[in-house]
Structure 1
Amino acid sequence: MDPTFYRNAAEAVTAPVEELAFVVAYDPDGKKNDALFVVDLKSNSPTWGRVVGKVEVPPGQELHHFGWNACSSAFKHEGHPMEGLERRYLIVPGLRSSNIFIIDTKPDPRNPKIAKVIPMKELSDKAGYTRPHTIHCGPGGIFMTCLGGPEGDADGQTGIALLDHQTFNVVGAWETDHGPQRHSYDAWWHMNKNTLISSEWAPPSLIENGLDVEALVQHKYGKSLHFWNLDQGKHVQAINLEEGEQMVLEVRPTHNPDATWGFVGVTLSTKDLSGSIYLWSCDDDGQWKADKVINIPAEPVDDPNKLPPILRPFGAVPPLITDIDLSVDDKFLYISCWGTGELRQYDVRDPSHPILTGSVRLGGVANHTPHPSQPDKPCPGSVQMVEVSRDGRHAYFTPSLYSAWDDQFYPDGVGNWMAKVNINPEGGMELDPDFFPQGEEFNGLRVHQIRLQGGDASTDSYCWPSPAVPARL
């Protein structure tokens, strides 16, 4: 059994710390090769904080979200052969191209290799979807949430494609009954409750050319949370969030598999430009509900010249919540505010009443807050994709959201960097002044998402609860 498969969250927290990060980056102009980079995280290494390896793929992919072929949910893979199964391959889709790259990180994780390429046509023909987005290794296969319908009908029905654990062949669509669900973004589950939760961004026509403000005002972006029967792929319940809430993105269930709650981030409200976090939970009758537990307001800006054209009519910067992450011990929730350049930390041990315990700033639409390593140099871009280490002592983040959106909100560029925060176990955090790989370290490419060696806070599903962890609210 792979030693990086953990029976519960407590085992993951106390396991050896990661020594490498895998980071995807892309060229928005489609001229340079996109790449998966390897960054050294070993604290006493002479190359700490530097890129120490990479594997390139052809230009024009726009590498985006990616994930492992196997994780701790392997313990729940009933009927699946466990012999030889290991956390070895990274499933790396191109969001623009719909090609999928299977990257082998062994035998030398600093020298990863392309093991297989799944072309867009196979995904479309076998699953009926394109624009592969989010990867989770799970029961019955590798789950791949897709933003687009089949080839030639991008705005058609979207959903989850299944890949075979061993061959990586596309098996087909996971769903047997979509119910009212039409659009997709993220998906994760409460395995022991046989429930999958999914969210929605928008159809590709409202994503690929940037944010469409008119469509936003008309509430054409995603506004619902969906609950499914995990075994059957059948839609069970949909929850429409408050009027005006748009772009329901990252879902983060508790790491306790017996629990029935989790968080989802909402990027923007058309009422006041705020962002919000909803807590979903299951009542005694088995019905799901979602309650807003965090609201982050927009920040007024006195000088409209500090704002990109898309925001000047509003005179304010919305937080633009684009990612959230729940620590493996379910103690802290991290929220990236891509508009204001803030990473927030909340104590969520009482998930119904989160308490703000920490905040750092880097970049941002109006302020371009400098990194402490370069205090006199405004930082381009902002806090975007965030990943928390298993032990909860560090978080890493990157600046790029999606090329067309980057250009709208950061017309002077989002930069190409990776930053780190050091976390106090009792709450609070600060930017690491010495960790800031950037620029030519990443070949000048825009940096999007991070995965940590051996798993991280948004990778694994655990099959047993940790001792003394409550199962319900």
Structure 2
Amino acid sequence: MLETLRPDPTFHPSPRLAMEAPRERIAYTALLSPDASRPDAIAVIDVDPDSAGYGSLLYRLDMPYTGDEFHHFGWNACSSALSPLSGHAFLQRRYLVVPGIRSSRLYIIDTQPDPRRPTIAKVIEPEEVFRKTGYSRPHTVHCGPEGVYISTLGGAGADGTEGPPGIFILDCESFELRGRWEIERGPQQLHYDFWWNLPRDWMVSSEWGLPPQFENGLVAQDLLANRYGHRLHFWDLRGRRHTQTIDLGAQHQMPLEVRPAHDPAREYGFVGVVIDTTNLEASIWTWWREDGRFHARKTATIPPEPADPAGLPPLLQGFGAAPPLVSDIDLSLDDRFLYVACWGTGELRQYDVTDPMNPRLAGSVRVGGLGRSTPHPSGRRFAGAPQMVEVSRDGRRVYFTNGLYSRWDTQFYAGGVPGAMVMGHAGADGGLTLDERFFVDFGPDYGAHQIRLEGGDCSTDSFCYPNA
């Protein structure tokens, strides 16, 4: 009985204590069927360097339906359960909550008793999501002190444009849908990612576009007319109330992943902007709070690279250049290194952000990329380019996959992006090298997206207590 009354050992009060935890031995990766001809799946990957199966697929859990389009997923519980406001003090990091971005279906995956052979514990059908929330296209999953928060990309109606998208809450034990999170939405009309600072009681969210703007590929005329998202929104977390909007400028299209500092004593964070429509560059912005108000500033830019038009997709041939297309960023738990995936040019950048207002390029690797197709150090072809990034708790390993979204994959990369997962080693003081032995090939029938690491990772947990 006493064993059940102890907090999950994978919960840590502060980021520094999480960094001292045992390293991950397995990873879970979302696989999707690009043409929806087969069910999507969750892959279990051996990431233990002492294992004979290092860098191989241990197991694949197939779903019972087709057409889900797995994208982002997350845990039912994490270190936020240690919050003094939590009503769930003895939760376990046991279940993976996996949304289908196209079907609006949710899967609850049980990783116990054998983490290497997870099972489906529950399926929440889209009709229930629509009825209880009025939202569709569930996207990002974050575990909070009192439940699971899930952002959406669509509102009601068949095309998801009847009303704005938002966030809904899922009970972290029964997995019952509780309803919409927002009480006062303010001017927010688009959604993508979100995260928070729990003790400071604020949340930040970003914007992509509405379903007709992404479900069948990038809509070039909407991009050139700056009709995708370009704003950050800030919220009173406990009050569920919108408090402030920062417009990054209409040309800064698609501010996607938001990464607040992990140490809750630090009130700043980063967002990656996919493209500047005036010059094709991508950018990193730093936001911070001062005197009760949020501010944001562009702190790093990544230029496009000249490329042979013959190797570019039709929508870029007239420019004769490959834009970086920053599609994911991830911040190490010590808040020191920011990793930036350039899905257009095939580069994964490592910035030293010890000074968050002046990111300094500290490392870089290249693999894949438009007009470049840089092979992996093993000599194997890497389709697409670095996309979804996940950093180990100790900050020494950086895993990434290569697919963005099925329709975008085929639009930008001829023949699509067969799924692969690779890993880089990060130096203690910066620098990045790819592991020649680690290359997981998921084959031509699957794309690969979000990665989750056993025991937590750098885009999963939010912490309640500052570093000592």
For the superposition of Structure 1 and Structure 2, which TM-score range results when normalised by the shorter chain?
Answer: over 0.9
Structure 1 alignment gaps of length 5 or more = 468-473
Q: Retained in 2: the 8 A contact 1:5–1:71?
A: yes
Which of residues 182, 185, 190 is equivalent to 2:189?
Answer: 182
Q: Retained in 2: the 8 A contact 1:68–1:89?
A: yes
Q: Shift of residue 378 of structure 1? A: 4.2
Q: Shift of residue 304 of structure 1? A: 1.2
* 1:437 is the counterpart of 2:434: no
* Partner Cα separation in structure 2 for residue 413 and residue 165 of structure 1: 36
Partner of 1:363: 368
Q: Describe the superposition over 1:422-446 as per-residue Cα deviations: whole angstroms up to 9, x where unpaired.
A: 1101100101011001044xx7311
Partner of 1:65: 72
Q: Retained in 2: the 8 A contact 1:20–1:452?
A: yes
Q: Retained in 2: the 8 A contact 1:125–1:150?
A: no
Aligned ranges 1:230-379 → 2 under 5 Å: 230-283=237-290, 285-301=291-307, 303-374=308-379, 378-379=381-382
* Partner Cα separation in structure 1 for residue 136 and residue 260 of structure 2: 26
Which of residues 139, 147, 167 is equivalent to 1:160?
Answer: 167
Q: Retained in 2: the 8 A contact 1:128–1:150?
A: yes
Q: Retained in 1: the 8 A contact 2:159–2:211?
A: no
Partner of 2:55: 49
Partner of 2:226: 219
Counterpart residue identity of residue 397, structure 1: F
Q: Retained in 2: the 8 A contact 1:77–1:140?
A: no
Q: Retained in 1: the 8 A contact 2:81–2:146?
A: no
Q: Describe the superposition over 1:337-375 as per-residue Cα deviations: whole angstroms up to 9, x where unpaired.
A: 00000000000011011110000000001100001111x
Partner of 1:102: 108
Q: Retained in 2: the 8 A contact 1:327–1:392?
A: yes
Taking structure 1 as the reference length, the TM-score comes to 0.96
Which of residues 9, 14, 17 is equivalent to 2:20?
Answer: 14
Identity among equivalent positions (%) equals 50
* Partner Cα separation in structure 2 for residue 94 and residue 282 of structure 1: 34
Q: Shift of residue 77 of structure 1? A: 5.9
1:365–1:79 Cα change, 3 Å: closer
Counterpart residue identity of residue 436, structure 1: F
SS at match of 2:315: coil
* 1:415 is the counterpart of 2:422: no
Q: Describe the superposition over 1:108-132 as per-residue Cα deviations: whole angstroms up to 9, x where unpaired.
A: 0111000001111111111110100
Partner of 1:471: none
SS at match of 1:367: coil
Q: Shift of residue 96 of structure 1? A: 0.7
Counterpart residue identity of residue 342, structure 1: E
SS at match of 1:437: strand
Partner of 1:470: none
Q: Retained in 1: the 8 A contact 2:88–2:145?
A: no
* 1:27 is the counterpart of 2:30: no
Q: Retained in 2: the 8 A contact 1:77–1:138?
A: no
Counterpart residue identity of residue 464, structure 2: C
Q: Describe the superposition over 1:397-435 as per-residue Cα deviations: whole angstroms up to 9, x where unpaired.
A: 001100111011102221221010011011001010110
Aligned ranges 1:77-156 → 2 under 5 Å: 78-83=85-90, 85-152=91-158, 154-155=160-161, 156=163
Partner of 1:38: 44
Counterpart residue identity of residue 425, structure 2: N
* Partner Cα separation in structure 1 for residue 84 and residue 384 of structure 2: 40
Counterpart residue identity of residue 90, structure 1: L
C-alpha RMSD of the superposition: 1.1
Partner of 1:425: 428
Q: Shift of residue 141 of structure 1? A: 1.5
* Partner Cα separation in structure 2 for residue 378 and residue 445 of structure 1: 16
Partner of 2:206: 199
SS at match of 2:419: coil
Q: Describe the superposition over 1:278-308 as per-residue Cα deviations: whole angstroms up to 9, x where unpaired.
A: 100011x21100000010011112x211111
Counterpart residue identity of residue 193, structure 2: D
* 1:406 is the counterpart of 2:413: no
SS at match of 1:210: coil
Counterpart residue identity of residue 428, structure 1: G
Counterpart residue identity of residue 11, structure 1: L
SS at match of 1:418: strand
Counterpart residue identity of residue 295, structure 2: K
Counterpart residue identity of residue 383, structure 2: P
Structure 2 alignment gaps of length 5 or more = 1-6
Q: Retained in 1: the 8 A contact 2:382–2:420?
A: no
* Partner Cα separation in structure 2 for residue 254 and residue 54 of structure 1: 34
* Partner Cα separation in structure 1 for residue 445 and residue 436 of structure 2: 21
* 1:397 is the counterpart of 2:403: no
Counterpart residue identity of residue 218, structure 1: A
Q: Retained in 2: the 8 A contact 1:121–1:151?
A: no
Partner of 1:446: 447
